[in-house]
């Protein structure tokens, strides 16, 4: 074997660094483009949020938790429909009212007294613990909900693909356009200032008898610096490292919809049915113990009870009548699907609930507390695999794969004889094999 001399080594190193440096140059030019775009987006976002847009998601949570027992957006419940409230009263009044409506009434505020009498002097709960921001969030949610309610009544089952949890509160296209224009103007102004400063500096330098800075000179020093292979190499490394981690995290989140909570065509509440009334999950999700799919109940299952129960505590007859209409016309309710694995993944409920002994809540979260269902787990491959690695299978009770299990029972017994305790996880039974989950 021939040994490389020190010079040869140096040459190879130099070639290598040159290669790195040219990759770096290309990356740099791409990054430059990206940075310019990113900067624009960042500035736009900054403007977007500095206009104090309400956190609609928080507002929605607060509204369903605190207000929905008495208010709806587009209909009268115990209290008035709240759509358009921001035009009826100003924000300061609303904050005072929502914190403690009795105080506003006591102060003799004419509007407050009038509405209090209109609603037969029913007292609205006081919410002294809500911050100004919380209340603004609630109002933001009401506003958005009012704008959407017309559209959402026609929401159909096809919407499973969109990941939008909430729609932006205003017409975003115009907003984006305006932001784009302002950003452009600001950038232009900044550039103009920079040029002015440069000219002034050069004037000063020539007065002092020094050579003024020039474009070509600056570019040349920059270029020299970049040609230094060590500098070029390390910068490339940093850029590639940061870039690839960013790319990977971004790519991994594509197609995952954790938290997805679409608006459903009928205000069906799991909190009421599964929580307060304790109706068993499989009364409605009849497939969950005997098939791959849990299934969503058809209207005739609802009618088992709603033939007799015609009025609900929150919406009166309005929502329940919708079920009747679907039932009588034989038209299925178009529930918007929330959980949706890609077609190339095989998941089976029976296997998990019956053979695996898993609770619904492990995967779906506290469904019995949800007014509206949302996607609790991210349903990523990592999520499935992690659980398969960690979950121990009770081989004695489980006869799903008799032969495999028998083998493991034997292994376990043998280990016991040697005084060892072995844990048998789903992974040990083949739960990490690609073909088990992928067609």
Smallest Cα–Cα separation from 400: which of 345, 362, 434, 352?
Answer: 352
Q: Which of 179, 232, 363, 424 binds ligand HEC (CB under 6 A)?
A: 363
Q: Which stretch binds ligand HEC (CB under 6 A): 20-28, 43-51, 214-222, 430-438?
A: 430-438
Q: Which of 5, 128, 330, 342 binds ligand HEC (CB under 6 A)?
A: 342
Report the residue number, 218 or 244, with the smaller CB distance to ligand HEC. Answer: 244
| Least Å from the CB of residue 184 to ligand HEC | 37
Q: Which of 72, 83, 115, 424 binds ligand HEC (CB under 6 A)?
A: 115
| Least Å from the CB of residue 37 to ligand HEC | 26
Chain positions 376 to 415 lying near ligand HEC, rule: CB under 6 A, are 379-381, 383-385, 387-388, 391, 393, 398, 400
User: Token pair of 149, please?
Assistant: 């309610």
Decide if residue 100 touches ligand HEC (CB under 6 A): no
- Closest residue by beta carbon to ligand HEC: 312
Q: Which stretch binds ligand HEC (CB under 6 A): 150-158, 168-176, 198-206, 422-430?
A: 422-430
| Least Å from the CB of residue 154 to ligand HEC | 16
Q: Could you tell me how many residues of this chain bind ligand HEC (CB under 6 A)?
A: 107
Q: Which of 362, 389, 407, 415 binds ligand HEC (CB under 6 A)?
A: 362
| Least Å from the CB of residue 264 to ligand HEC | 5
Report the residue number, 24 or 136, with the smaller CB distance to ligand HEC. Answer: 136
Cβ neighbours for 306, distance < 8 A, ≥ 6 positions apart:
320, 323, 324
Decide if residue 83 touches ligand HEC (CB under 6 A): no
Distance CA 250, CA 176 (A): 23
| Least Å from the CB of residue 263 to ligand HEC | 10
Chain positions 20 to 49 lying near ligand HEC, rule: CB under 6 A, are none
Q: Which of 125, 153, 206, 414 binds ligand HEC (CB under 6 A)?
A: 125
Angle, alpha carbons 42-246-243 (nearest 5°): 95
| Least Å from the CB of residue 375 to ligand HEC | 7
| Cβ 423 vs Cβ 394: under 8 Å | no
Decide if residue 71 touches ligand HEC (CB under 6 A): yes
| Least Å from the CB of residue 64 to ligand HEC | 10
Site string (260-299) toward ligand HEC, x via CB under 6 A: ----x-xxxxx-xxx--x-x-x-xxx--x----xxxxx--
| Residues paired with 425 in a beta bridge | 392
Chain positions 228 to 267 lying near ligand HEC, rule: CB under 6 A, are 255-256, 264, 266-267
Q: Please identify which residue in the block is written with the tokens 């088990």.
A: 436
Distance CA 324, CA 270 (A): 19
């Amino acid at each position: 074997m021939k040994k490389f001399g020190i010079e040869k080594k140096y040459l190879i190193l130099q070639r290598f660094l040159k290669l790195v440096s040219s990759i770096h140059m290309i990356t740099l030019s791409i990054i430059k483009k990206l940075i310019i775009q990113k900067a624009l987006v960042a500035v736009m976002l900054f403007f977007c949020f500095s206009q104090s847009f309400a956190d609609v998601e928080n507002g929605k949570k607060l509204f369903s938790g605190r207000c929905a027992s008495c208010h709806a957006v587009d209909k009268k419940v115990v209290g008035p429909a709240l759509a358009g409230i921001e035009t009826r009263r100003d924000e300061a009044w609303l904050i005072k009212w929502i914190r403690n409506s009795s105080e506003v009434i006591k102060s003799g505020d004419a509007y407050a007294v009038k509405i209090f009498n209109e609603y037969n002097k029913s007292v609205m709960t006081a919410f002294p613990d809500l911050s100004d921001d919380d209340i603004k969030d609630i109002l933001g949610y009401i506003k958005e909900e009012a704008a959407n309610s017309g559209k959402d009544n026609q929401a159909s089952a096809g919407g499973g693909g969109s990941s939008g949890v909430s729609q932006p509160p205003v017409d975003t296209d115009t907003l984006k356009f305006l932001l784009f224009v302002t950003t452009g103007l600001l950038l232009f102004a900044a550039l103009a200032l920079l040029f002015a400063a440069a000219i002034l500096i050069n004037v000063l330098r020539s007065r002092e008898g020094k050579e003024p800075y020039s474009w070509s000179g600056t570019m040349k020093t920059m270029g020299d610096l970049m040609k230094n292979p060590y500098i070029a190499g390390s910068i490339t490394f940093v850029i590639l490292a940061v870039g690839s981690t960013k790319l990977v995290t971004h790519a991994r989140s594509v197609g995952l919809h954790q938290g997805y909570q679409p608006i459903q065509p009928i205000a069906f509440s799991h909190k009421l049915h599964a929580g307060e009334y304790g109706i068993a999950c499989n009364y409605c999700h009849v497939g969950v113990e005997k098939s791959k799919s849990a299934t969503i109940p058809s209207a005739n299952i609802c009618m088992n009870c709603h033939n007799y129960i015609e009025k609900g505590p929150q919406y009166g007859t309005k929502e329940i009548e919708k079920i009747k209409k679907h039932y009588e016309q034989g038209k299925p309710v178009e529930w918007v699907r929330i959980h949706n694995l890609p077609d190339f993944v095989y998941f089976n409920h029976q296997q998990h609930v019956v053979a695996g002994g898993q609770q619904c809540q492990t995967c779906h979260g506290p469904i019995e507390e949800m007014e509206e269902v949302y996607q609790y787990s991210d349903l990523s491959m990592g999520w499935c695999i992690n659980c398969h690695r960690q979950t121990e299978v009770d081989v004695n009770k489980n006869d799903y794969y008799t032969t495999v299990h028998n083998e493991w029972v034997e292994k376990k017994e043998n280990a016991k004889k040697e005084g060892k305790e072995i844990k048998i996880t789903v992974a040990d039974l083949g739960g990490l094999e690609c073909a088990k989950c992928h067609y």
